[in-house]
Amino acid sequence: MMAQPDPNGPIGVAVVDKAAGLTSHDVVAQARKVLGTKKVGHSGTLDPGATGILLLGVGPATRLLRFLTDLPKTYTTEIVLGVETDTLDDSGVVTETHEMTGITADAVRAAASDLTGAIEQIPPMVSAVKVDGKRLHELAREGKEVEREPRPVTVYRYDVEPTDDPLVFRAEVECSSGTYVRTLAADLGTALGGGAHLRNLRRTRIGTFGEDEAAPVEDVVVLTPGEGLRDYPAVTIDAGTAALVANGRVLSRSTVGAEGDGPWRVVDQSGALRAVYEARGEDEVKPAVVLPGP
């Protein structure tokens, strides 16, 4: 049942388990109906064929999405050796095949190890990256392929295990934001002297948000903004400082008790998130987002 619109509207972060066949935009459209508000956005696009965790910002918390996007992500998938596709996954058209039946599990693990750490990755043509103001997937639909600049990403873990099919490997990848697992699969095939694509891609974790907290969009629950940004360190402020924060004031580190590099969740005495602050020079912090007060 569609929720009745709230004049104030809900605010917070929702952890959705996206079903296959839906675009991330589809999930947002459904969440707007379920939550009764137009103010919904998503962090970290998932391909229509992929499943798993999609974080939504609701109400003024949509302004927090960039911090959620920056969190590391974990995926599971299957990599099919010997077949390349134009989308780098099983939704695309086969573009080339290779004889790769002699590849050993040790060779696959070694190639995956070489793709671990700080690497540069060329975004696939079927992606949301913009080149000259146009998204790559739009150009791909027009039959165009353009030059793409490599982008630095970090692969923290790239574990591969054989299956009953000698050309199919299960993989689990933990990586930085902006990493394309499809490209990792294709690069693995290339490194092994052939080609590859992936299938059954699932995002199992974003930061500390795991599958156990995710729900189908029709059963979505909105966490508080503070819970949504739990992966960032918190500083607690008194009422006087809260008034300054509400006005978007630049403050000294000592005033808010900010240590380290930030950004920081700035919470009041009740534990409510009032703002997110970032470093400004060595001694000051500045507001990145200020949320409406109680």
Q: What's the pTM?
A: 0.90
Of 86-100, 127-141, 148-162, least confident by mean pLDDT is 127-141
Q: What is the mean pLDDT of the chain?
A: 90
Q: Does 47 qualify as catalytic in the annotation?
A: yes
> What per-residue confidence (pLDDT) applies to 293?
73
Catalytic residue among 6, 17, 26, 47: 47
Q: How many helices (H) and strands (E) in the chain?
A: 8, 19
Q: What is the DSSP string of 99-157?
A: --TT--HHHHHHHHHHT-EEEEEPPPSSSS-EETTEEHHHHHHTT-------EEEEEEE
Pick the CATH number of 73-203 from 3.40.30.10, 3.30.200.20, 3.40.640.10, 3.30.2350.10: 3.30.2350.10
User: Domain extents for the chain?
Assistant: 12-71+207-225, 73-203, 234-290
Pick the CATH number of 234-290 from 2.30.130.10, 3.40.50.970, 3.30.1330.20, 3.40.50.720: 2.30.130.10
As its CATH architecture, domain 12-71+207-225 has 2-Layer Sandwich (3.30)
Task: State how far the Cα of 41 lies from the Cα of 27, in Å rounded to an integer.
Answer: 9
pLDDT band at 140, cuts 50/70/90? very low
Cβ–Cβ < 8 Å for 70, 40: no
Q: Is residue 106 scored above 90 in pLDDT? A: yes
Tens digits of residue pLDDT in 27-76: 999 999 999 999 999 998 898 899 999 999 999 999 999 999 999 999 99
Tens digits of residue pLDDT in 233-272: 999 999 999 999 999 999 999 999 999 999 999 999 999 9
The values of phi and psi at residue 256, to 5°, are -100, -5
Same fold, 12-71+207-225 and 234-290: no
